[in-house]
Amino acid sequence: MTASNEKTLEIRSKSRETQKIPTEKGKSAFPPPRTPKKSGLKKVSASSRTVSPPKNRTETTTRPLLKQDSSKAGSVKKQSHPLPKSVKSPVAVLAVSQTKTKEKPALKGGTKSHPKTEAKPAAQIHERNQKKQKKLELAVSAPVKERTQSKKPPSDKPQGRSSLQTAKKGKAPVKLTSTKKKTSRAPLEFPTTRWGTDSIISFEATEHSPPLELTSIVGGFIFHEGKLVLANIPGRGWEIVGGRIDIGESPEDTFRREAMNQVGVTLSHIKMIGVVRIEHRGPEPPNCPYPYPIGYGVQFIGIVDRMHPFSGNEDSLGRSLISPEGFKEHYYDWNEYYEAVFNYAYSVYLKWRKKLKL
């Protein structure tokens, strides 16, 4: 053997002697292990190299959770490691939060309820009720003092601000509305009169035209510069303008045509003021040219636009301008019916003229 081999054998023999484990009789060649410092950690033995599972835990991996018995499941829950007091389980936290919300319902107005005012003992409530009852008894038994107040005399001035004061401040005056209900006006009543031998006519103030198939005549009052224009009808005398409606003609067109034929004027404005009802009480004549037994006529007022030269014709012998005061004397068959209708027509004409600014 060489010298190098001898040296390696010596080194190996020395290392084997150092690795020998000491027996109970002999003393260990190594120094005793150092005592660990107090660091709060568990002591770990140097000889124990394998890690064993904790004794408290049970092996549940071999069996599924669904096949465990109730007794074993309870034991697992009991043997589970408890959490420290400072840490709460999530289940406990949820349970506490639910009980808090149930115990303290939200008050109206978004305010939180105070724990002191939520529940009062019965003794306090009883004392409070007794105090209230005593106050009521004292108030009833005490003499009533009459209050003497100096009443101020009512002033003529209104309590609210005047429209001038509000106008100075830049505010629009407030319009006072009456609380009275607006009653609809009663319809005007006009007397009736006889027309011809066996017909009766009546007047109704309205602006709604009657059915055209039952309307046969038109008539109206024509004004020029505040005076009435009358036509001298043969066989009757001075009368208002009027006539029968031709086929395919409207009542307004008929009134304009008769104004030109009977008095020689053209009209700028016309206005309907009412309806004439004609009731025929006699026997129906053969080839009757008007509706029978009841027909209608339309009443107008008109304003002259231009007066043309007129000397008379078959429909009218002439024309005349008469003041409203002299209308009664010139009309050929004056009675209460014509007076009432004329007064109404003249009042409508005056209001209408103001609107038209003529």
The residues, any chain, with a CB within 8 Å of residue 181's CB and separated by 6 or more, are: none
pLDDT tens-digit series, residues 186-229:
778 999 999 888 899 999 999 999 999 999 999 999 999 999 99
Distances (CA, A) of 37 to 30, 32, 42, 43, 49: 21, 15, 11, 10, 21
Region 57-83 average pLDDT? 49
Query: According to the model, what pLDDT value does residue 272 have?
Result: 97
Alpha carbon distance 53, 226 (integer Å)? 129
Alpha carbon distance 250, 208 (integer Å)? 14
pLDDT exceeds cutoff 50 at 249: yes
Residue 168: which pLDDT band, with cuts at 50, 70 and 90? very low
pLDDT exceeds cutoff 90 at 344: yes
Alpha carbon distance 133, 149 (integer Å)? 31
Report the topology of domain 193-353: Nucleoside Triphosphate Pyrophosphohydrolase (3.90.79)
CB contact at 8 A, 354 and 347: no
Concatenate the DSSP letters of all residues of 34-64 into one string.
PPPP-SSPPP--SS--SPPPPSS----SSS-
Query: According to the model, what pLDDT value does residue 48 have?
Result: 46
How many beta carbons lie within 10 A of that of residue 229, not counting itself? 22
| β-pairing verdict for 215-224 and 294-307 | parallel
More confident call, 246 vs 26: 246
Residue 126: which pLDDT band, with cuts at 50, 70 and 90? confident
Query: According to the model, what pLDDT value does residue 182 have?
Result: 55
Domain boundaries, the chain: 193-353
Query: According to the model, what pLDDT value does residue 295 have?
Result: 95
